[in-house]
Amino acid sequence: MKNILVTGGAGYIGSHTVVEMLNMNMNVVIVDNLRNSKEEALRRIEKITGIKPTFYKVDLLDRSALASVFRAEKFDAVVHFAGLKAVGESTQIPLSYYQNNVTGTLNLCELMIKHSVRNLVFSSSATVYGDPHKTPIKESFPRSATNPYGRTKLMIEEILQDLYDSDNAWNISLLRYFNPIGAHPSGMIGEDPNDIPNNLVPFISQVAIGKLNKLAVFGADYPTHDGTGVRDYIHVVDLAKGHIKALQKLSENPGIQAFNLGTGRGYSVLDIVSTFERVNKVKIPYETAGRRPGDIAVCYADASKAEKELGWRAELPLEDMCADTWRWQLQNPNGYE
């Protein structure tokens, strides 16, 4: 797998994955409409790697523009990150989420068929497990969705299964990410939320730098060791490396397979706050608030399938996730602007 199309490659996880791909001497072509990212991320990728990836500012919903990309380039595989990802927003504008995520994927797959590209790595999410009946979560657990965003991921997984059933020449990796955090250790690329962050670690980071006053801890009455919600936080660089392993696996013709990409360890909200404070020598004021609707108590992966079948395991500890987040925030107080 040498020539790779990366949709959404200017985004948070995409940009980190492109860096790892360029480090492996892969030829990368990025397609991104920059709806939730900045072109500056691409310049930073070049600064880190010394290589400028080919970039097309194209929306997956624009079929003719996407078709031109497939005519101009040659691909062995596609890594498909492009999608809208905000759970709350998806409940406000569900049709946009279905249109963007589902129709975007259909357009992409149609062109892949037309150009005989049958290798795909798809960004799925642990959200497809809904409220899991137990933890750690295995790939074989039942799937369900609790919001439109999660339903787009579930629908796309099912569409890709149907596609594989219709033609076994496809090789598809459904990567179910747990909670990606952190940034590249250079501090040059990282997560750059447009508005007030919804996710825990970007929020903490903006409290630490003084842009936000204090963290609201959503729920302190969960059945966990300190009452706050537990998640499986994974360093974005480890996650990026999982995509390289998934691409390598596709060359063995594995068919369609789902993999959990997590560390297998759960940390509570207060664990994250105290580690961030300790590692970065900052104070994070917080107050306990009510539970956030739709949140579950505990979510962490059984990541043994990825270890056994992809030869991949998350290696970077929570301390590095917190230190790298903070370096990115300090070096880029206003993100990419």
Least separation in angstroms between CB 219 and ligand UDP = 6
Chain centre to alpha carbon of residue 303: 16
Residue 222: active-site member: no
Q: How many residues bind ligand UDP (CB under 6 A)?
A: 14
Given ligand UDP, ligand NAD, none, residue 38, with its beta carbon under 5 to 8 Å by kind, binds: none
Least separation in angstroms between CB 263 and ligand UDP = 14
The type of residue at 118 is: R
Give just the sign of the alpha carbon dihedral 288, 214, 90, 17. negative
Stretch that binds ligand UDP, among 15-23, 33-41, 108-116, 209-217 (CB under 6 A): 209-217
Given ligand UDP, ligand NAD, none, residue 8, with its beta carbon under 5 to 8 Å by kind, binds: ligand NAD
CA end-to-end span of the chain = 34
Given ligand NAD, ligand UDP, none, residue 280, with its beta carbon under 5 to 8 Å by kind, binds: none
Chain centre to alpha carbon of residue 78: 15
Binding stretches for ligand NAD (CB under 6 A): 8, 10-14, 32-37, 59-61, 81-85, 100, 104, 123, 125, 177, 180
> Exposed, middle or buried, 54 (CB in 10 Å: 0-12/13-18/19+)?
middle
Report if residue 2 touches ligand UDP, rule: CB under 6 A. no
Per-residue contact track with ligand UDP, 265 to 304, x per CB under 6 A? ----x----------------------x--x---------
Q: Extract the tokens encoding 308.
A: 């056994």
Q: Extract the tokens encoding 90.
A: 């998806």
Report if residue 235 touches ligand UDP, rule: CB under 6 A. no
Lateral strand order in the sheet of 54-57? 54-57, 27-32, 3-7, 77-80, 119-125, 171-177, 256-261
Least separation in angstroms between CB 41 and ligand NAD = 8
Report if residue 98 touches ligand UDP, rule: CB under 6 A. no
The residue number whose beta carbon is nearest to ligand NAD equals: 11
**170 Cβ contact partners less than 8 Å away, ≥ 6 residues apart:** 118, 119, 120, 160, 163, 164, 255, 256
The type of residue at 300 is: Y
Q: Which is nearer to ligand NAD, 227 or 305 (CB)?
A: 305
Given ligand NAD, ligand UDP, none, residue 145, with its beta carbon under 5 to 8 Å by kind, binds: none
Least separation in angstroms between CB 3 and ligand UDP = 33
Chain centre to alpha carbon of residue 280: 24
Cβ 237 vs Cβ 16: under 8 Å: yes
Task: Give phi and psi for 215, each to the nearest 5.
Answer: -85, 135
Least separation in angstroms between CB 116 and ligand NAD = 22
- The helix/strand/coil state of 153 is helix
Q: Extract the tokens encoding 9.
A: 């490659």
Report if residue 129 touches ligand UDP, rule: CB under 6 A. no
The catalytic site residues sit at: 149
Which chain residues interact with ligand UDP by CB under 6 A? 179, 198-200, 203, 215-218, 229, 231, 269, 292, 295
